[in-house]
Amino acid sequence: MREFTADRQWSPYHDPKSVLLALVGEVGELAELFQWLPADAAQELARDEPLRTRAGEELSDVLLYLILLADVLGIDLATSANAKLTDAALRYPPGTGPDWP
Amino acid sequence: MREFTADRQWSPYHDPKSVLLALVGEVGELAELFQWLPADAAQELARDEPLRTRAGEELSDVLLYLILLADVLGIDLATSANAKLTDAALRYPPGTGPDWP
Amino acid sequence: MREFTADRQWSPYHDPKSVLLALVGEVGELAELFQWLPADAAQELARDEPLRTRAGEELSDVLLYLILLADVLGIDLATSANAKLTDAALRYPPGTGPDWP
Amino acid sequence: MREFTADRQWSPYHDPKSVLLALVGEVGELAELFQWLPADAAQELARDEPLRTRAGEELSDVLLYLILLADVLGIDLATSANAKLTDAALRYPPGTGPDWP
């Protein structure tokens, strides 16, 4: 993402609020893929094309902007996410209801 | 995430639309951290505590739900995101305006 | 909203991207209320307290920021929404599938 | 919206979580309009076409799904939003910082 951004000289556009709105845009596209699917059939329906590829693309767009935002903020996302998961495991012992996090 | 979910027997709650709404909830918490910051100062402000840690936590929550959603959908997120980035590099040659993706 | 904002001298904070992120934050809070509810029981569950009141509050927060954003942008939201609905009625004749808009 | 929905027999698709995801999709489209605009120029830029009309359309789509969601949930949105604003006026007296709500 750093190389991709640098090659295009896009970093002046990448202030945190702008990247965050771009991430929101991609989450919206992801939502549009699933909004009208029956909730209990969505997982199965996503195993077939064209939804499978489309979902992969939108999940990827969200991930790429998330990585870009972490980089802009100087946050090590992998370290931070592992710490969050370890913390969640302590705060929500097995048997806890599904309100995490 | 698989182990975490299995240990708590939460997978019945993890249909795609539910996990997607959970991801939306975390994106909302991330937005709340930045909404009133001056756009051109946000990057700098996020280098200091408590925003730095809070931003890391919310970015992590988004990532963890994104990984969970990819897993529920049977999508290999790393492969898919690399393909998307390669594709974007072809579609947006250096010099292109900042409308990707 | 104009009076509320003016009385608190908050308008310097209300550039469009900031208000939009605030709206995203409220949509996230709304999503958190529904994320783990069974899809086919959510409507019924929202008839009881405390969900009923909580949902009303979050829907209201989204509406208030939406109205604020329209005002900041100088857009007459009621006129615009009526035009959109009229247009949708023409583009999606009765019998059309549920992909509007 | 009720008439529009009834004429198309779309109400079976309008469970709360589905309508909420549709609203998220429209918020995403709204975000895409503003994401790369300079924060301090966005208000001014939105006074010109084509952004003005596009912003009005996306704001309207968000409003229409918000109204639909309120209706599905049996919530009187106008009453609820007025109550929220009255409550906010009490909780955030003039002079309070911009962290509402």
At D7-63, the pLDDT tens digits run 999 999 999 999 999 999 999 999 999 999 999 999 999 999 999 999 999 999 999
Q: Which residues in chain D have their CB less than 8 angstroms from residue B39's CB?
A: 38-40
Cα separation, B20 vs A87, whole angstroms: 22
Residue of D13, D18, D66 lying closest to C59 (CB–CB): D66
Residue for token pair 């009309």: D53
Q: Which amino acid is present at A34?
A: F
Cα separation, A64 vs A49, whole angstroms: 23
What is the C-alpha end-to-end distance of chain A, expressed in Å? Answer: 28
Comparing CA positions, the residue from C58, C75, C70, C52 lying closest to residue C24 is C58
What's the number of CA atoms in the CB half-sphere (13 Å) around residue A11?
A: 12
CA quadruple B81, D38, A24, B44: dihedral positive or negative? positive
Residue of D21, D25, D34 lying closest to A21 (CB–CB): D34
**What is the model's pLDDT at position D31?**
98
Does pLDDT of A26 surpass 50?
A: yes
ipTM: 0.94
Contact call for A39 and D26, based on CB within 8 A: no
Q: Which residues in chain B have their CB less than 8 angstroms from residue D15's CB?
A: none
Identify the chains in contact with A, defined as 3+ C-beta pairs within 8 A: B, C, D
Q: DSSP label at A99?
A: -
Contact call for A15 and B40, based on CB within 8 A: yes
Determine phi and psi for A19, rounding to 5 degrees.
Answer: -65, -35
Q: Which residues in chain B have their CB less than 8 angstroms from residue A37's CB?
A: 16-17
Q: Which residues in chain C have their CB less than 8 angstroms from residue B35's CB?
A: 18, 21-22, 24-25
Please report the DSSP string for C14-43 in residue order: --HHHHHHHHHHHHHHHHHHHTTS-TTTHH
Contact call for B27 and A30, based on CB within 8 A: no
Q: Which amino acid is present at A87?
A: D
Residue for token pair 């709206």: C23
Q: Which residues in chain B have their CB less than 8 angstroms from residue C68's CB?
A: none
State the best of C36, C47, C80, C99 to mutate against chain D, taking most chain D CBs within 10 Å: C80
Residue of D20, D26, D46 lying closest to C73 (CB–CB): D46
Cα separation, C34 vs D42, whole angstroms: 33
Comparing CA positions, the residue from C66, D92, A19, D84 lying closest to residue B30 is A19
Over residues B12-30, the mean pLDDT reads 97
**What is the model's pLDDT at position C101?**
41
A67: its two tokens: 């990585």
Over residues B27-44, the mean pLDDT reads 97
Q: How confident is the model at residue B100 (pLDDT cuts 50, 70, 90)?
A: very low
3-state secondary structure of A50: coil
Whole-number mean pLDDT of chain A? Answer: 93
**What is the model's pLDDT at position D98?**
57
Does pLDDT of B98 surpass 70?
A: no
C59: its two tokens: 């829907």
Contact call for B98 and D20, based on CB within 8 A: no
**Does the pTM of the predicted model rise above 0.90?**
yes
Say how far residue D33 (Cα) sits from the centre of its chain: 15
Determine phi and psi for D74, rounding to 5 degrees.
Answer: 70, 30
Q: Which residues in chain A have their CB less than 8 angstroms from residue D13's CB?
A: 36
Residue of C9, C31, C83 lying closest to D20 (CB–CB): C31
**What is the model's pLDDT at position B95?**
75
Please report the DSSP string for D4-58 in residue order: HHHHHT-GGG--HHHHHHHHHHHHHHHHHHHTTS-TTTHHHHTTSTTHHHHHHHH
Does pLDDT of D96 surpass 80?
A: no
Query: Residue length, chain C?
Result: 101
Comparing CA positions, the residue from A45, A34, D17, A46 lying closest to residue C36 is D17
User: How many angstroms away from the CA of A75 is the closest CA of chain B?
Assistant: 6
**What is the model's pLDDT at position B89?**
93
Size of interface B-C (CB pairs under 8 A): 57
Cα separation, C25 vs B32, whole angstroms: 5
**What is the model's pLDDT at position C32?**
98
Q: Which residues in chain D have their CB less than 8 angstroms from residue C95's CB?
A: 8
Per the CB < 8 A criterion, the answer to whether C43 and D72 are in contact is yes
The pLDDT tens digits for A28-87 are 999 999 999 999 999 999 999 999 999 999 999 999 999 999 999 999 999 999 999 999
User: How many angstroms away from the CA of C17 is the closest CA of chain B?
Assistant: 8
> pLDDT per position in chain C (101 positions), as tens?
999 999 999 999 999 999 999 999 999 999 999 999 999 999 999 999 999 999 999 999 999 999 999 999 999 999 999 999 999 999 999 977 655 44
Per the CB < 8 A criterion, the answer to whether C66 and D30 are in contact is no
Does pLDDT of B8 surpass 90?
A: yes
